Amino acid sequence: MMTIKDKHLKVLSCLVILLLGMLFVPAASASSSSSDIPPIPNVFKGNLKGDAEHAGPGLVISAYIDSKLVGSNTLTEVGEYELAVNGTGQDNGKAITFKLGGVASEPVSVTYKHGDVPVKLDLTFNGDFIPPTIETLSAFPTYILNDGKDFSTVKARVVDDSGIKSVTLDLSPISQGVVSLKSEGGDLYTYDITSTEAGEFKFQFMAANPSGNSVVDKDRISITILRENQLATTFGGSDGIFSPEEIAVLVKNNNVSSGVKYAVLGTYFADGWDRI
């Protein structure tokens, strides 16, 4: 027959086993998860010297260990850089080579230290690191139809003493990817944007020279692409109905494409221009 003392001992034993289980489970979990923590990169940042002193946004700085790429970043400020070098424990103590736009830096005595604190390091590069200059950039008209035929023409004047390698427009917002502008001579480049999608869009413009230096503009190419059923609410006033006066204003609006104007006239005036 089990005594009260035996019952207390049995309960106490269960509590001890339960407590030990709670202690060991988190420890095992913490041990297994620690191996999943990614290594801390060796971060370098500082000023760019030499010809790279005026290197601007868009230029890529990269790091190599034993000719293997271990980090790259795009400059966001003129004459400054920040770069995370993602080596391994086996790279500890190995020399790092830095390149800017494919040009190696002047020799520096720096080695990889796995997970070290950020390092302040100025780098000197000599070469052509001045990006092209965007003298003019525009898209006109700014309102077009989404019929895939109406268009807005992008015009850009880009200059660089060393020449221009590429001038592109990122049309990913309307699912057309990156396209090249057509050279019209005299530093002028053009492209006609058409789309079957509707909305307000901004497109990134970029020009690069043969050395790989580039200039980026994310703000100046902005257009609105409209469906026909949006024309009345966009241009017809608060009531969404066109008056002859509103039609006259629309026709004189140079920011509106001829495609939009003809669509409005065709919808609301059977005999078109004679009603104005």
156 to 151, 207, 218, 273: CA distances (angstroms): 16, 10, 14, 34
Tell me: pLDDT of 32 over 80.
no
Q: In percent, how much of the chain has pLDDT > 90?
A: 53
Q: Which CATH superfamily is domain 42-125 in?
A: Carboxypeptidase-like, regulatory domain (2.60.40.1120)
Q: Are strands 152-159 and 133-140 parallel, antiparallel or unpaired?
A: antiparallel
> 10 Å Cβ neighbour count for 53?
13
Beta strand 42-50 pairing with 80-85: antiparallel
33: confidence class by pLDDT, cuts 50, 70, 90: very low
Strands 222-226 and 143-145, bridge-based pairing = parallel
Burial of residue 111 (CB within 10 Å: 0-12, 13-18, 19+) is: middle
CATH 2.60.40.10 domain span(s) along the chain = 133-226
Query: Which is the CATH superfamily of the domain at 133-226?
Result: Immunoglobulins (2.60.40.10)
> What confidence category does residue 272 fall into, taking pLDDT thresholds of 50, 70 and 90?
very low
The pLDDT of residue 21 is: 55
Which stretch of 107-111, 167-171, 238-242, 268-272 has the lowest confidence by average pLDDT?
268-272
Q: Lowest-pLDDT range, 33-37, 107-111, 126-130, 167-171?
A: 33-37
| pLDDT at position 276 | 45
Intervals of CATH 2.60.40.1120 along the chain: 42-125
Task: Using the predicted structure, report yes or no on whether residue 30 has a pLDDT greater than 80.
Answer: no
Rounded CA-CA distance 16/248 in Å is: 89
Instruction: Kindly report, residue by residue over 191-217, the tens digit of the pLDDT.
Output: 999 999 999 999 999 998 887 778 889
